Structure 1
């Protein structure tokens, strides 16, 4: 099956919202602050990761921070929005530049690194990703 990119339906919008709410709930428990979709959420995610209070085995909680990360990215980066990709492996939420094939998968961006034991600097990852995507966008998607 070729990769198909579709707009999120009500089920996917609900899924993304529930995952974001999970991340916000965890943040409130650990940091005393709810997520709000702002750049400060990156600091909240960093504080949660640094606290060690979320188990590496808890993939759903780790992936909720990826959704929070993605929400900040969409809020702070022009022309990106949530979409859904379907391929041979199933369906996944992604963030897409306009209606191009330039995609990122924030849900697993943090969880995979944390599960692999990597030290994660959330702000560095955010700004590095934005810079890298800007280069790709300018090279390959200038007409988009």
Structure 2
């Protein structure tokens, strides 16, 4: 599975049975939720000059006792370990400091003491760090925690609004398309309320996920733009809920969600 950080400062590949989880603002956490074999964390820091990454490595080597040089894949790293006890169990945190040009990267892997660090080394070996001359990325990756938060917030607001206006339950099924349609046709939202239209689009997207097996949320990296979208299985069929309703509203066009649902369903069935 591929992960690209917000801002495209770095990318990495992690095992398919691992997932990204919520962590601190500047740190990204990955582990296997079904069979835990360690927590992998990564953070990136931007310096003021192209020697910043090297300076961070040298600093670790000279200021952290027990740190030594280690090569992981093509990356030169400063490597150290720290043991600690929690609830009667001993753990080891392995720390690698590496990077490229002005971007310093810190990776840690916390495991039960004595357990293998090969999963972390494989992730670090896959690491890509953006250099000053690298072109913007244009890729589709599994949905990140950042976009999941956007999806959940938009969905919660839209469902609350729909329930308040129609006094009806919302089950995120095909039958609820008409409820979204009633609210967007109600005239209570004007053309300038972009966030509202995008939230209704996200809610429509949630129905697509529930009604069409293989339709899943992804994150689209398009240069400076990063946003949630839908992709059907591993095909090129993409749906863009954020803009699906909003683009029609701002252009003064009518948005028929039932018609859109039938169109998308037909494209999915054609691929099957």
Greater Rg, structure 1 or structure 2?
2
Residues 218 and 229 of structure 2 are in contact (CA less than 8 Å); yes or no, is this contact kept in structure 1?
yes
Query: Which runs of 5 or more structure 2 residues have no equivalent in the other structure?
Result: 1-135
**2:239 corresponds to:** 104
Instruction: Say if 1:35 and 1:111 are closer, same or farther in 2 by CA, change over 3 A.
Output: farther
Q: Distance in 2 between matches of 1:116 and 1:70?
A: 21
Is 119-128 or 1-10 further displaced after alignment?
Answer: 1-10
State the Cα deviation string for residues 14-49 of structure 1 (Å, max 9, x = none).
111111011111112221224321112211111012
Match of 2:155 among 20, 24, 29: 20
RMSD: 1.6
Match of 1:65 among 200, 208, 212: 200
Name the one with the larger helix percent: 1
Q: Distance in 1 between matches of 2:186 and 2:210?
A: 26
**2:168 corresponds to:** 33
Instruction: Say if 1:107 and 1:34 are closer, same or farther in 2 by CA, change over 3 A.
Output: farther
Instruction: Say if 1:129 and 1:100 are closer, same or farther in 2 by CA, change over 3 A.
Output: closer
Q: TM-score, with normalisation over the residues of structure 2?
A: 0.48
- Shift in Å at residue 108 of structure 1? 1.0
Instruction: Say if 1:9 and 1:126 are closer, same or farther in 2 by CA, change over 3 A.
Output: same
- Shift in Å at residue 2 of structure 1? 4.1
Is 66-75 or 123-132 further displaced after alignment?
Answer: 123-132
Q: TM-score, with normalisation over the residues of structure 1?
A: 0.86
Would you say how many aligned residue pairs link Structure 1 and Structure 2? 137
Query: Which runs of 5 or more structure 1 residues have no equivalent in the other structure?
Result: 139-144
Name the one with the larger strand percent: 2
Residues 20 and 65 of structure 1 are in contact (CA less than 8 Å); yes or no, is this contact kept in structure 2?
yes
Runs of 4+ in 1 over 6 A off after TM superposition: none
Is 13-22 or 123-132 further displaced after alignment?
Answer: 123-132
State the Cα deviation string for residues 104-134 of structure 1 (Å, max 9, x = none).
1112101111221112221111111221343
